[in-house]
């Protein structure tokens, strides 16, 4: 009775591509509402200081300017800034516009609304701001010192999140007695999500209907709806949010920024449509940053490399105003053990404020745990003189140990780390490669091999993120609409969900239309984030389609007086197995369901439409992967060339391997970029030094390796399709693989690599420091 998988697993071309290839995509800046006004923000040039005066008179007189707002005009209008599920007892530092003082360079101080962005920017230049500059706090390790200023004077300290170390005598005993105990500190620098489309919002208030319409570049329109309603102190039902095409997000667009809340307030105050499109300078200087954390790891092992215990202290830089969910401190302490057996474990984490841009959630926000662990394992391998791949092989959790309870309490119902390790090793030809490396080294070439492994907690279902829903509707002409809670912005969900539903209903993939991103058209739900779409949304769509299919079978069985178990679904037709001429097409069934309700069997409701809200059977669905990177370092220039890059991953049942590989590749290249090119430094006064793409270097086609993929497909037990998320894995696994490869390349020179970034100047400095 089950339909065969005709589309799931296939590399079908994407439904969304035609409009993007022809310039017919519609992004928020492409939406033209007559009479729309445009916004620019005047921003702080000072990292920390008291606002002496803001003179907006000249700005207000610039031609085309409609309004100039400062904190005292708008701040008090915000009724409630919290996002969904944010507990009222935990105050996240927030303000709409700088008020009384400034706390980072780039902080919005005044908002200008004008007839065009050109005029709004003219007015920004006309604002006179006097700020009495004070010394900023920039060094996170000093955040708790007595002699440093508080970033938020109204807070008791500079500590944003404190996850204390829980006393653990067993771990203390291991660390005191183990044959090998190493302690190292690893530092990760500040970089950023940088979607190609920046943030943008267009808001329009209808005074007669008392309704707000918002078009916004977001990862979840329903969350925006709730938040904007709370900001204005109106009902959710008065807010309509539309997510048009979105040009990438990677976590950045989970929640609106204060600027976007200000736009909504201005639209209501002025009664006119108001648009703000963030420019790239604003994106790099003043939108949430990512990474920037330290980890001090103490790891204990036997002489044969068996891991015995680990203790970690994480330090996370929250910056000034972290985004909701911007701190990953708790996750880092839970996830550190990764895919390895580490019997004794304990960790603490501290997230601290500095006078810099706030921290946001970027693809694998907790990934410093993988970076630190995988670097540490290589340090241990070097100390024990055991091959780093072999050391991992000895310690990965094996099938016979499942289900495996991590020392932090999380449970692996599934873990195929060993399989991915072997597949990656075979694909890259690990043994031969090590032989080859010896020859290269003998020739003076600095070629290194880096391995990394991790377990990715995908589709975490908690709070607002617990469920997704889908409505599957077969229209009387047999075409299928799927309206869902997701918010795809590059992940190909318009295609993959159509593949899933087409298989369940036995119809052609092109007959399924997928609808998302509009609070008037789709069920309530969280949107996209945390590698959830295939697992949770896929589960909802599959079960809703299944409900419709079951109804189709009941109707046909009744009409043809056949037993349901004798029926089969073939090319959109339900027919009696073995007697294909006896059956009904989906159009005939739909006609019966909608137009002949009296003819339906007892208990079968009229119509062919069903909605299912789905939550997985488990708090999270684990995927896992092994990355191996081979690189060559030029000691004269410090340039790194990546020669090979292999990823072996297990994301369960693949819906569309093109989409899977696209997600891996995008993440891996973001990770490579993060280690080698991308960096958002500040100077000693707290000025950001990379605010254009001339200074903030993204990888281009000339720097990237050809990524080789290996797939292990172990169906996940948590959801009906057997899928596992993998959206974040590439960006988690790539940095430590690249770092370990560089460290391995430089090892013959006596260089020790602990910190990032590893740009040419950093590498040359390391070589010089080692005296090589």
Partner 1 sequence: MAEIAIAVVVNGESREAMVEPRLTLADFLRDECRSTGTHLGCEHGVCGACTVLVDGAAVRSCLMFAAQAHRAVVTTIEGIRGPDGELTAVQRAFRDAHGLQCGFCTPGFIVSMTAFLRDNSKPSDQQIREALSGNLCRCTGYQGIICAVRHAANAAVAT
Residue numbers at the binding site for partner 1 (CB under 8 A): 11, 13-14, 16-27, 29-30, 32, 118, 194-198, 245-248, 250, 279-280, 489-492, 658-659, 661-662, 665-670, 692-694, 698-702, 704, 706-707, 730
**Nearest-approach distance from CB 20 to partner 1, in angstroms:** 3
Residue with tokens 């056949």: 562
Alpha helical stretches, state H, 127-178: 169-177
Question: Which CB atom, from 9 or from 25, has the smaller least distance to partner 1?
Answer: 25
- Burial (CB < 10 A; 0-12, 13-18, 19+), residue 708, is middle
State both tokens at 681.
């430094």
C-beta closer to partner 1: residue 13 or 439: 13
Shortest approach of partner 1 to residue 449 CB, angstroms?
A: 21
Q: To the nearest whole angstrom, how small is the minimum distance from the Cβ of residue 692 to partner 1?
A: 5
Shortest distance, position 259 Cβ to partner 1, whole Å:
17
Instruction: State in angstroms the smallest separation of the CB of 489 from partner 1.
Output: 5
Report residue 226: phi and psi, to 5°: -65, -45
Residue closer to partner 1, measured from CB, 224 or 284? 284
Measure CA 331 to chain center: 14
Could you tell me which of 289, 315, 229 has the C-alpha nearest to residue 265? 229
Six token digits for residue 284: 């790099």
Nearer to partner 1, 32 or 154 (CB): 32
Return the ∠ at Cα 308 (arms to 307 and 312), rounded to 5°: 90
| Smallest gap from residue 389 Cβ to partner 1 (A) | 24
Nearest residue (CB) to partner 1, 432 versus 702: 702
Per the listing, tokens 């800034």 go with: 81
Q: Give me the residues paired with residue 49 across strands.
A: 102, 133
For partner 1, the closer CB: 16 or 293: 16
What's the min distance (Å) between Cβ of 711 and partner 1? 15
**588, 607, 598: which is closest to 548 by C-alpha?**
607
Listed in order, strand segments (DSSP E) in 565-724 are 567-570, 573-576, 579-585, 609-614, 621-633, 640-650, 707-711
For the CB of residue 583, give the shortest distance to partner 1 in the complex, in Å. Answer: 35
In the complex, what is the shortest distance from the CB of residue 545 to partner 1, in angstroms, rounded to a whole number? 25
Rank residues 33 and 234 by Cβ distance to partner 1 and give the closer one.
33
Q: Using the minimum distance from each CB to partner 1, give the nearer residue, 199 or 311.
A: 199
Nearer to partner 1, 720 or 733 (CB): 733
**Alpha carbon distance 436, 183 (integer Å):** 32
Strand partners, 215: 202, 242
Say if CB 379 and CB 184 are below 8 A apart: yes
CB 322 within 8 A of CB 92: yes
Minimal distance, residue 193 CB to partner 1, in Å? 8
CA 354 vs CA 104, 110, 259, 358: distances in Å: 8, 22, 21, 8
**Cα–Cα distance, 146 to 148 (Å, whole number):** 6
> How many Cβ atoms are within 10 Å of 432's Cβ, its own excluded?
9
Reading the block at residue 425, the tokens are 């090793």
**Nearer to partner 1 among residue 20 and residue 462 (C-beta):** 20
Q: Which is nearer to partner 1, 24 or 383 (CB)?
A: 24
- Two structure tokens written together for 76: 């008090």
**Closest separation in Å from C-beta 700 to partner 1:** 4
Sheet holding 239-242, edge to edge: 65-70, 108-114, 37-43, 274-277, 200-206, 211-216, 239-242
Q: Rounded distance, CA 626 to CA 112, Å? A: 50
| CB nearer to partner 1: pick between 95 and 644 | 644
Q: In what order do the strands lie in the sheet with 640-650?
A: 446-458, 621-633, 640-650, 707-711
Tell me the closest approach of the beta carbon of residue 642 to partner 1, in angstroms.
Answer: 12
Alpha-carbon distance of 577 to 559, in angstroms, equals 15
């Amino acid at each position: 009775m089950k339909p065969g998988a005709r589309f799931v697993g296939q590399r079908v071309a994407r439904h969304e591509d035609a409009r993007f290839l022809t310039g017919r995509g519609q992004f928020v800046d492409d939406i033209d509402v007559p009479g729309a006004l445009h916004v620019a923000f005047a921003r702080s040039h000072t990292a920390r200081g008291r606002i002496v005066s803001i003179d907006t008179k000249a700005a207000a007189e610039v031609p085309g300017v409609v309004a100039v707002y400062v904190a005292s005009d708008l701040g008090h209008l915000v009724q409630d800034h919290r996002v969904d599920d944010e507990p009222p007892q935990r105050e996240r530092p927030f303000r709409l516009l700088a008020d009384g003082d400034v706390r980072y360079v780039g902080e919005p101080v005044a908002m200008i609304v004008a007839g065009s962005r050109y005029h709004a920017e003219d007015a920004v230049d006309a604002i006179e701001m006097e700020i009495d500059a004070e010394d900023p706090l920039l060094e996170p390790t000093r955040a708790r010192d007595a002699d440093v200023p508080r970033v938020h004077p109204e807070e008791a300290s500079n500590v944003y999140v404190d996850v204390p170390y829980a006393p653990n005598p067993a771990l203390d005993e291991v660390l005191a007695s183990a044959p090998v105990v190493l302690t190292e500190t690893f530092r990760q620098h500040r970089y950023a999500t940088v979607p190609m489309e920046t943030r943008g919002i267009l808001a329009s208030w209808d005074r007669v209907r008392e309704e707000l319409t918002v078009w916004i570049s977001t990862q979840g329109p329903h969350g925006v709806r709730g938040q904007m309603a709370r900001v204005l102190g109106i009902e959710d039902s008065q807010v309509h949010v539309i997510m048009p095409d979105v040009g990438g997000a990677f976590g950045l667009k989970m929640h609106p920024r204060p600027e976007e809340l200000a736009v909504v307030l201005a639209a209501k105050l002025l009664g006119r449509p108001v648009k703000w499109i963030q420019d790239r300078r604003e994106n790099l200087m003043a939108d949430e940053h990512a990474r920037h954390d330290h980890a001090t790891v103490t790891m204990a092992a036997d002489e044969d490399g068996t891991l015995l215990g680990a203790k970690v202290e994480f330090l996370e830089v929250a910056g000034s105003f972290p985004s909701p969910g911007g701190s990953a401190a708790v996750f880092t302490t839970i996830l550190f053990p990764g895919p390895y057996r580490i019997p004794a474990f304990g960790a603490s984490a501290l997230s601290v404020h500095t006078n810099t841009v706030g921290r946001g959630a970027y693809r694998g926000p907790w990934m410093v745990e993988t970076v630190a662990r995988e670097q540490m394992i290589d340090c241990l391998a070097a100390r024990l003189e055991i091959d780093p791949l072999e050391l991992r092989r000895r310690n990965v959790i094996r099938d016979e140990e499942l289900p495996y309870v991590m020392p932090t309490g999380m449970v692996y119902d599934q873990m195929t780390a060993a399989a991915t390790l072997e597949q990656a090793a075979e694909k890259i030809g690990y043994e031969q490669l090590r032989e080859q490396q010896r020859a290269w080294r003998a020739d003076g070439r600095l070629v290194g091999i880096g391995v990394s492994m991790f377990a990715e907690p995908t589709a975490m279902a908690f709070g607002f993120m617990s469920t997704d829903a889908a409505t599957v509707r077969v229209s009387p002409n047999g075409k299928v609409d799927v309206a869902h809670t997701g918010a795809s912005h590059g992940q190909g969900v318009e295609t993959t969900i159509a593949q899933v539903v087409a298989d369940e209903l036995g119809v052609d993939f092109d007959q399924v239309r997928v609808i998302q991103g509009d609070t008037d058209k789709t069920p309530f739900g969280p949107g996209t984030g945390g590698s959830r779409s295939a697992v949770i949304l896929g589960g909802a769509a599959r079960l809703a389609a299944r409900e419709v299919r079951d109804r189709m079978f009941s109707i046909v069985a009744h009409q043809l007086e056949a037993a349901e178990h004798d029926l089969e679904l073939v090319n959109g037709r339900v027919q009696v197995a073995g007697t294909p001429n006896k059956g009904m097409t989906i159009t005939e069934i739909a006609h019966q369901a909608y137009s002949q309700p009296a003819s339906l069997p007892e208990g079968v409701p009229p119509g062919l439409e069903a909605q299912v809200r789905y939550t997985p059977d488990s708090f999270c669905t684990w995927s896992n992967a092994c990355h191996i990177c081979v690189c060559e370092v030029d000691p004269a220039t410090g340039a790194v060339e990546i020669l090979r890059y292999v990823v072996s991953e297990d994301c369960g049942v693949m819906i569309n391997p093109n989409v899977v590989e696209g997600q891996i590749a995008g993440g891996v290249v973001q990770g490579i970029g993060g280690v080698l090119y991308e960096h958002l430094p500040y100077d000693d006064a707290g000025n950001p030094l990379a605010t254009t793409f001339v200074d903030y270097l993204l990888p281009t086609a000339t720097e990237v390796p050809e990524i080789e993929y290996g797939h292990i497909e172990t169906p996940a037990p948590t959801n009906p399709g057997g899928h596992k998320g993998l959206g974040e894995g590439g960006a988690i696994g790539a940095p430590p693989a690249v770092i370990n490869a560089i460290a391995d390349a430089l090892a013959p020179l006596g260089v020790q690599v602990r910190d990032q970034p590893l740009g040419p100047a950093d590498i040359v400095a390391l070589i010089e420091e080692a005296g090589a």
